[in-house]
Amino acid sequence: MKKIHLLTPVHAYILAALMTCLLPAHAAINIQVEQWGVFELTLPGPTKGNPFTEVQLSANFTNGVKTLKANGFYDGKGLYKIRFMPDSIGNWAYITHSNRWELTGQQGNFVAVAPSPENHGPVSVAHTFHFSYADGTPFKPIGTTSYTWTHRPDKIEEQTLSTLASSPFNKIRMCVFPQTHGTKGLPPKRFPFAGKPTKPDYSRFNPDFFQHLEKRLSQLQELNIEADLILFHPYDDKHIWGLDNMAPEVEERYLRYIVARLSAYRNVWWSLANEYDFIRTKTEEDWDRLFKIVANSDPYQHLRSIHNGKKIYNHTKPWVTHVSMQNGLAVTSPGSAQLYRDVYNKPIVYDEVEYEGNYASRWAQLSGQELVHRFWAGSVVGTYVGHSEFFVEPGDSDKFVWLGQGGTLKGESPARLKFLRTILEEGPANGIEPTDKWWNPNIGGQRGEYYLIYFGHKTPKNWSFTLPAKGLENGMAFNLDIIDTWGMTITPVEGVFEIERKDRYSFTDTHNRSIPLPQKPAIALRITRVIGSH
Amino acid sequence: MKKIHLLTPVHAYILAALMTCLLPAHAAINIQVEQWGVFELTLPGPTKGNPFTEVQLSANFTNGVKTLKANGFYDGKGLYKIRFMPDSIGNWAYITHSNRWELTGQQGNFVAVAPSPENHGPVSVAHTFHFSYADGTPFKPIGTTSYTWTHRPDKIEEQTLSTLASSPFNKIRMCVFPQTHGTKGLPPKRFPFAGKPTKPDYSRFNPDFFQHLEKRLSQLQELNIEADLILFHPYDDKHIWGLDNMAPEVEERYLRYIVARLSAYRNVWWSLANEYDFIRTKTEEDWDRLFKIVANSDPYQHLRSIHNGKKIYNHTKPWVTHVSMQNGLAVTSPGSAQLYRDVYNKPIVYDEVEYEGNYASRWAQLSGQELVHRFWAGSVVGTYVGHSEFFVEPGDSDKFVWLGQGGTLKGESPARLKFLRTILEEGPANGIEPTDKWWNPNIGGQRGEYYLIYFGHKTPKNWSFTLPAKGLENGMAFNLDIIDTWGMTITPVEGVFEIERKDRYSFTDTHNRSIPLPQKPAIALRITRVIGSH
């Protein structure tokens, strides 16, 4: 689906109505949708009773090879919708199923055509620890967090989008529900349920709430930004809205509803909760149950995880696709950052590692340097790190910090994260792997081909060309760049380094050259095999 | 069971025979066994066919409150045995079950009496991350490894026991099966199966092999040393014995046999394998299956774990009681050592962290200082670390290194580990816990009561009395000792430190005293609450 289509999804409503009234089933209707775009079928249906709880609707979509079931949803005003994301090119036919005569048995078809250049499909796990888009393009997350940016005045939400457009970030963690923090004078405009915010009618959703969210998701998609959507969170101080403690059947209905609405958006990831363990009214078994509802109702199996406070969820469970980890300490060094990889054998995303900022709380006092350091410490061992910031102007409230509400970025890290993103995107398609995990944790890459060495807080005077032995052979030749991760410079070292075995564990430059380094912190080396050497 | 009983277990054979012939069932026979000692019933039985595979034997033991099933085993020479460890004081009655008339329906009873002072019962998990004996005495493991010390000439095995007797170690990791390494000229004397070592009869066990192992286990028990028994290992070079790749039914029979023989020994822990992932003929599902056999056939639920090579087993599985971890890198700092705690919520035992030694391989080149450092880095965050050493004399083979074969200890670390053990045993009964895990990982203890601060490789000139705020109140008072972990000195600092809140996160000495430190590496502080202060 291309830009304009995202904002105004294919209006199959009239066509579908036409189709079912005038045309034989499977007639060759010329509806075209991009691969990984959204096909949307709109059907008029019953308004009596409670359409949210009483009407069941789904459709099976088939291309003759496979069949996927997409659940429909009531969008208000007598209209029911079914959205579908075709994952391959060609003809797709559908038939609806419902417990209402006017919605069941509707048939039609459409053609999925080649995606536009910016559309690489949804992201999934690749090579155990990494990610790629469905078309095989590697996805190297450089994420940020702005919890409730979609609950701000329009002007600020648009400012957030504009900030993101020129930022390094290709993923954003964001909450579905509003938070109470930072809302004084600017209360959230929309709530997910009908009724009053403080006295919701849990049996009826508010379509406007979700339509607004969808608009913002589409805009993120236009910017090629993945939306890591947080489905529950504990930031309802004094529990005035009750969204953190709904009845199990309400939670489950909410999950089925949001998955039905959003799973056809290719840029959606499901994060079951933020700081899940701070929602003390739920047990780990509750989260298992909620995870399974999402997993079982999402036909595309979007990425799924859950973010911890102090207690880590058991990410070895099969419905967790990748690890979403709050732990700033782990990424203070490559050696500790790598440890969770071997526990989970899934991508490790350290998406909360403390924030760049000047707030009174110690979790929001990182310097830009330290945050960028943590990104590099994580990146060099093949894990991923997330950004946010929390800057309070003197005398200001914390109403408009990026972490909570979006707006503009004030920190020094984003420019350096853009620099890092470029380096990672120029790096191995299969991602960075530790090359000698227990002995040289600060060296990552792909053995024999590509190495990043990160010195962190150390400020070495010089470096003798030495690499861990595995994957190397005498006579291989490498180029070397010196990277100033903070200064954002890449300085190629002249000449080529031909290697020979030094001992059981390492190879060195045949000329034993010692390379002078800038004697600053946060220096890295990039070592790339000379094509065709050896 | 006291010393002499351990070596010559209660000979219930004649008594049992008498009982069944002459006495009515449940007659008051005055057989006494210590609580957590071994009651052993010996019964003559069939010798025809294959007693190992054809005869089933077990007994139910009851004290009127609970009933435990202990499996019996064939011990050769026409004798069958059932061993039982009573876990509470009082009368126990039993009845046997067998598919042979002469073994089934045998009844009797005995009295479990108070344990002798050195007998604290088996060890199990306590307070999530720690261990205690069954009588509540804390168990703080300071373990070592000597893989195949029970496969040496008698003289060397006795030397090993004598070395252990004066060592700091209260746990030893040891293999059931022999290893091929270091056996040139001194091949193992016993093999677990009948037949030739290189052509075993997998359908028949060799009782002599297990009797010898039991003798050594009993001797360890006399020394109050836990035997962390490794049931499989990959150290059968070229697979000449085949013990690393037996048929599933042979492995399962072996596990049931060894559990039947040994589970009544209170000092047994089950380690499913060493470097389990190096046994490349087995999948993780195989290990799950083997774990379940041990768990289901051990009436006492001795501790169970499995030790990794490069790939970590999923220790979140319910049959794993504690984590047995090879990872030397993790314990290079407290910050990284603590990370696995929150993953597993089980005791973390880093039982292979590289070895003190001078071997050609880099995993056996630690200085004594570095090994002791790793113990402290792990201990201060409430995890446990294991020792071994690998010293090769010039011109010597590696035949008699402690790691493989036992004998004597040559390293500098054991004396310091004894010092550490004393400090841990004088510490909180409930174990050391991180007190401010993400922000001050080098401080552990019990909040408000006891703190260990470990400076590691840093050599600070002085220290201002500061503690993380949680659990503290104004007016509390503490004593302070300066510990030289390598020099093995404890230097009390004069006076008492009364504290007051400094800020949101910390309390400091009201007098803001700065305490001079020795400016050496490996310095620790011990801070203990003055009884009744505040």
CA–CA distance, B326 with B230 (Å, rounded to integer): 14
Per-residue pLDDT tens digits for B256-272 = 999 999 999 999 999 99
Please classify residue B314 by burial: count the beta carbons closer than 10 Å to its beta carbon, then call 0-12 exposed, 13-18 middle and 19+ buried.
Answer: middle
CB distance from A184 to chain B under 8 Å?
A: no
Bridge partners for A132 per DSSP = A124, A138
pLDDT bin (cut points 50, 70, 90) of residue B26 is very low
* Residue A314 touches chain B, beta carbons under 8 Å: yes
Dihedrals φ, ψ of B96, to 5°? Answer: -90, 155
Contacts of A504 in chain B (CB under 8 A): 360, 362
CA B505 to chain A, closest CA, distance in angstroms equals: 9
Beta carbons of B336 and A335 less than 8 Å apart: yes
Cα distance from B399 to chain A (closest Cα, Å)? 22
What helix, strand, coil percent values describe chain B, rounded to 5?
Answer: 25, 30, 45
- pLDDT at B432 (0 to 100): 98
Residues of B in contact with A128 (CB under 8 A): none
Q: Do residues A383 and A431 lie in contact, with contact meaning Cβ atoms separated by under 8 Å?
A: no
CB < 8 Å from A in window 454-513 of B? 504-505
Answer whether B329 sits within 8 Å of A335, measured CB to CB: yes
The tokens for A509 are 């430059």
Q: Which helix (H) or strand (E) holds B21?
A: helix B12-22
Output the six-digit token pair for A178.
């509003």
Instruction: For residues B173-188, give the mean pLDDT.
Output: 86
Q: B264 Cβ partners below 8 Å, 6+ apart?
A: B38, B39, B40, B70, B83, B84, B85, B300
The whole-chain average pLDDT of chain B stands at: 93
What is d(CA A387, CA A414) in angstroms, rounded to the nearest whole number?
Answer: 8
Chain B closest-CA separation from residue A279 CA (Å): 18
Tell me the average pLDDT across B461-485: 97
* B316–A311 CB contact, under 8 Å: no
Q: Phi and psi dihedrals of A261, rounded to 5?
A: -75, -40
The helix or strand, by DSSP H or E, that contains position B162, with its residue range, turns out to be helix B154-165
Ordered strands of the B130-133 beta sheet: B123-126, B130-133, B138-139
Which residues does chain B have within 8 Å of residue A327's beta carbon, measured at their own beta carbons? 339, 438
- CB–CB of A437/A510 below 8 Å? no
Q: How far is CA B135 from the centre of its chain?
A: 17
Range B97-110 average pLDDT: 97
| Residues whose CB is less than 8 angstroms from the CB of residue B521 and which lie 6 or more positions away in sequence, other chains included | B369, B373, B455, B456, B457, B458, B459, B486
**Cβ–Cβ pairs < 8 A, chains A and B:** 59
Instruction: Give whole-number Cα distances, A118 to A34, A61, A135, A415, in Å.
Output: 11, 25, 11, 23
pTM of this structure? 0.93
Q: Is A408 on the interface with B (CB under 8 A)?
A: no
pLDDT for the residue numbered B24: 44
Q: How far is B317 from chain A (nearest CA, A)?
A: 9
Tell me what pLDDT residue A229 has: 98
Instruction: Tell me which amino acid residue B171 is.
Output: K
Q: Which sign does the torsion angle of CA A97, A102, A105, A108 carry?
A: negative
Percent of chain B with pLDDT over 90: 90
Chain B closest CA to A270's CA: distance in Å?
21
DSSP codes joined into one string, A318-329? TT--SEEEE-TT
pLDDT at position B531 is 82
Size of chain A in residues: 534
Phi first, then psi, for residue A262 (nearest 5°) are -110, -15
In one letter, which amino acid is B66?
K
Distance CA(A110)–CA(A87), nearest Å, equals 13
Q: Check pLDDT > 70 for residue B249.
A: yes
Mean pLDDT of B125-140: 98
Cβ A360–B328 below 8 Å, yes or no? no
**CB-nearest partner of B362 from A328, A339, A505:** A505
What kind and span of H or E run contains B291? helix B284-297
Q: To which H or E segment does residue B20 belong?
A: helix B12-22
CA distance A52 to B417: 66
Token pair listed for A152: 């701000």
Residue B491: exposure state from Cβ atoms within 10 A (0-12, 13-18, ≥19)? exposed
Please give the residue of chain B at the shortest CA–CA distance from A311: B342
How far is CA B205 from each of CA A306, B90, B195, B196, B269, rounded to the nearest angstrom? 50, 35, 9, 12, 22
Question: Which letter does DSSP use for residue B366 in this model?
Answer: B
Tokens linked to B80: 């069958």
A342·B312 Cβ contact <8 A: yes
CB distance from A311 to chain B under 8 Å?
Answer: yes
- The parts of chain A modelled with pLDDT lower than 50 are 1-27
Q: What is the pLDDT of residue B396?
A: 63
Find chain A residues with C-beta within 8 A of B342's C-beta.
310-312
Q: Is residue A295 within 8 Å of A301, Cβ to Cβ?
A: yes
Q: Would you state the structure tokens that stand for residue A456, as one six-digit string? A: 């962190």
Q: Which is nearest to B76 in space by CA: B193, B172, B188?
A: B193
Q: Do B339 and A339 touch (CB under 8 A)?
A: yes
Q: How far apart are CA B268 and CA B495, in angstroms?
A: 46
CA B338 to chain centre: 20
Quickly list DSSP for A329-357: TGGGSHHHHTHHHHHH-S-EEEEES--EE
Chain A residues in contact with B310 by the CB 8 A cut-off are: 342
- What is residue A239's three-state secondary structure? helix
The predicted structure's pLDDT at residue A396 = 63
CB B139 within 8 A of CB B131: yes
Q: How far is B335 from chain A (nearest CA, A)?
A: 7
Task: Read off φ and ψ for residue A19, nearest 5 degrees.
Answer: -55, -50
List Cβ neighbours of B222 (8 Å cut-off, separation of 6 or more). Answer: B3, B6
Task: Indicate yes or no: CB of A329 within 8 angstroms of CB of B437.
Answer: yes
- Number of residues assigned to chain B: 534
Secondary structure element (H or E) that encloses residue A257, with its range: helix A248-262
Contact A226, A172 (CB under 8 A): yes
Question: Tens of pLDDT along B337-393?
Answer: 999 999 999 999 999 999 999 999 999 999 999 999 999 999 999 999 999 999 998
Read off the pLDDT of each residue in B303-326 and give the average, rounded to a whole number.
98
Nearest CA in chain A to B339: A330
**Residues of A whose CB is below 8 A from B335:** 329, 332-333, 336
Q: Are A329 and A336 in contact (CB under 8 A)?
A: yes
Q: Where are the beta strands (DSSP E) in A400-519?
A: 433-434, 443-446, 450-454, 462-464, 466-468, 477-484, 489-492, 497-503, 506-509, 514-516
Question: Higher confidence at residue A18 or residue B418?
Answer: B418
User: H/E element holding B214?
Assistant: helix B207-222
